[in-house]
Amino acid sequence: MNLPDPAVVLDLIEAFRRSKTMFTAVRLGVFDRLRKGPAGTSQMAIEMSINAGALERLLDGCAALGLLSKEGGVYRNQPVAEHYLCADGPHTLRGYIVYSDDALYPMWNHLEDAVREGKPRWKHTFGIEGDIFSGFFRSEAAMRDFLHGMHEFGMLTSPAVATAFDLSRFRRIVDLGGATGHLAMAACERYPEMRGVVFDLQRVVRMAATPHERVEFLAGDFFEDELPSGDLYAMGRILHDWCEEKIQRLLARIFAKLPAGGAVLIAEMLLEDDGVGPVPANMQSLNMLVVAEGRERSLPEYRRLLEGAGFAHVEGKRTGLTLDAVLAVKG
C-alpha cells in the first residue's frame, strides 16, 4: 500500500513552534542585542539574565529558521532579522509580532469554539465585553501594540496599494480608519497634487497621528459622524472587520458623500473566486472569525457589495504582497 506523503501534516503539527520561537526571541530582545554586535551564548546569557543552556537552544532554533547565523559559537543577525525583527529596524514588524503573541496566539486557542458558534473570542480569552475594538484597545499598551502592528504592516503594503491603479485624477483622499495615515501618505507621495485626510476615532488620532505636510488628521466615527469631503475614499483592512449589514451602511454613506466620478479604494486580502486560496487570505479569514465579526472576501463578493451601493467600474488588482487593491467609481 502506497501511503500519501505526510509532509504537509507533519509540517502543520509543528508550525506553531516556529512562530512561538520567533515571538519569544523578539520579546526577549535577542535580535536587538545582536544588532549591537555578534555574541556568544555565555556573554548574552549574562547580559540578558537568561539561562545559558536554554538560550543556546533558542538561538540555535532561530539560526535553523534562517533568522540568525552561527559560526564558531558566535551568533549574528541575518539581514531579515535586522530589517524586520529589531525594534529600531528600518521596516520593523515588532509591533505586529507583539500583538500576535499577546492577543492572537491565545485567542486562536479558542478557534474550535469560534467555528462552532461563529462568534469572536475576546470574552472567552480576556473576559472583554463590547465591540471588537474593546478588545484591540483593551489597554493603552494593547492599543499601542495594535496600532504599531498595523502601521508596520501598512508600511510594507500601502505603497503597492497606492500604485495599483492610476489615481492621479483625484485631489483629496480620505483614509477612513487610517490610524497612522500610512495609506494616505503613500498616495500623497505617489501623486504630488493629492492631499489627504485621516479620519479615525479620537483615541486613535491622539495616539497615532503622524505629522505630514499634506495629510491632516480628524477625529470621528465613520459609522456615525459626518465624513470629511473628498473625491477618493480609502479603507485599508477596514471592511474585513465588519458584517455585510455594516459594510453596506458604510458604503452607502461614502457613496452619498462622493462627487460624480469619485471613487473608493479598498485594500484587503482577496480570496480566489471559489474561496480557496491564497493561503494567507484563508488564514486571515479564520483570524477575523476569532477576533471580529467580518471575513475576507473575493473580488466578485466585493463587486456585489460595491455595485449594490451604487458604484460601477469595479476593478481588482493583486499587488503580489499581502494586501490587494479594489477600486470602484461613482458614476
Please identify every residue annotated as catalytic. 240
Residue 290 C-beta-side C-alpha neighbours within 13 Å: 19
Q: How far apart, in whole angstroms, are the C-alpha atoms of residue 233 and residue 267? A: 11
> Residue 239 has what DSSP assignment?
G
Q: Strand 74-77 to strand 39-40: parallel, antiparallel, or no bridges (unpaired)?
A: antiparallel
Strand, coil or helix: 190: helix
CB-CB contact of 318 with 270 (8 Å): yes
DSSP class per residue in 30-80: HHHHHHT--EEHHHHHHHHT--HHHHHHHHHHHHHTTSEEEETTEEEE-HH
Burial 114-151 (b: 16+ CB within 10 A, else e): beeeeebbbebbbebeeebbebbbbeeebbbbbbbbbb
Q: Which long-range CB contacts under 8 A does 60-63 form with residues at least 24 apart?
A: 61/21, 62/21, 62/22, 62/25, 62/30
Q: How far apart, in whole angstroms, are the C-alpha atoms of residue 287 and residue 104? A: 8
At 38, the amino acid letter reads P
**Which grid cell is 15?**
508550525
C-alpha distances in angstroms, 249 versus 25, 131, 210, 252? 43, 17, 29, 5
C-alpha distances in angstroms, 302 versus 4, 87, 252? 38, 36, 14
